[in-house]
Amino acid sequence: MAKAQPRAWQRMLSGRRLDLLDPTPVDIEIEDIAHGLAFVARWNGQTKGDFAYSVAEHSILVTQIFQRQQPKAPAKWQLAALLHDAPEYVIGDMISPVKAAVGPGYGALDDRLTAAIHLRFGLPAQIPVSVKKQIKKADKLSAWLEATQIAGFTQAEADKFFGKQDPALASNLQIALRPPVTVRDDYTALYHKLAATL
């Protein structure tokens, strides 16, 4: 008797059934992404405050930073910034040490999901390397801010792990800890604002 294959799909609140091994754009909805990311804690939840700092909140901040750093960037790349961690709505947010321990399988899964998400929302499966680097730069500033403001890192530690950041840009950005439902709604609203200009 053949051994049954383990289940590799997840049922979403929208009713969609997303196959993690072979994700298709038709099974991806922005409401599922926004809801999932609003309830996924960054830093494994090891942050100060009464609410977890969610991947959705982080994604909104990365988009704001990207817009400041790249004020002439087209809406599609702003949307790519918002969606940069979207696969985590199903695979969760693993801190870098865990990703390293899991190995290359995590990266392959993330790449498959990213490609399907991008296609679903009108982006190329793989965005240009130059844009990816610009989003990563915004991502690193966000991580630096999170590390120093809510995750207990000293500035020296944050500089070591995330690189020294522009003090002028960093000084007026304050991390907000808000209820997941509020963050979910703001993530969805930002998506619709950007999608309307594509």
Give the pLDDT confidence of 34-74 residue by residue, as tens digits: 999 999 999 999 999 999 999 999 999 999 999 999 999 99
Given this model, what pLDDT does residue 124 score?
97
Rounded CA separation 76/124 (Å): 10
All structural domains of the chain, each given as residue ranges with its CATH number in brackets, are: 26-196 (1.10.3210.10)
Beta strand residue intervals within the chain, DSSP E:
9-11, 17-19
Q: Mean of the per-residue pLDDT values for the chain?
A: 93
Whose structure tokens read 């950005």?
A: 173
Say if residues 194 and 60 touch (Cβ distance below 8 Å).
no
Q: Which of the two residues, 64 and 94, has the higher pLDDT score?
A: 64
pLDDT at 94 over 90: no
Q: Which two tokens stand for residue 66?
A: 């990207």
Q: Which two tokens stand for residue 192?
A: 């619709």
Place 19 in a pLDDT band, splitting at 50, 70 and 90.
Answer: very high
Lowest mean pLDDT across 16-30, 39-53, 94-108, 151-165: 94-108
Given this model, what pLDDT does residue 122 score?
97
Given this model, what pLDDT does residue 193 score?
98
Whose structure tokens read 């870098």?
A: 96
Q: Is 65 exposed, middle or buried (0-12, 13-18, 19+ CB in 10 A)?
A: buried
Tell me the one-letter amino acid at 6.
Answer: P
CA distances from 5 to 8, 9, 16, 124 (A): 8, 11, 20, 32
Instruction: Give me the mean pLDDT over the 98-117 stretch.
Output: 86
Rounded CA separation 160/145 (Å): 13
Q: Which of the two residues, 167 and 132, has the higher pLDDT score?
A: 132
Given this model, what pLDDT does residue 97 score?
75
Q: Which of the two residues, 188 and 96, has the higher pLDDT score?
A: 188
Q: Which of the two residues, 166 and 132, has the higher pLDDT score?
A: 132
What is the number of other CB atoms lying within 10 angstroms of the CB of residue 48?
A: 11
Given this model, what pLDDT does residue 2 score?
66
Given this model, what pLDDT does residue 184 score?
98
Place 145 in a pLDDT band, splitting at 50, 70 and 90.
Answer: very high
Given this model, what pLDDT does residue 1 score?
60
Whole-model pTM above 0.85?
Answer: yes
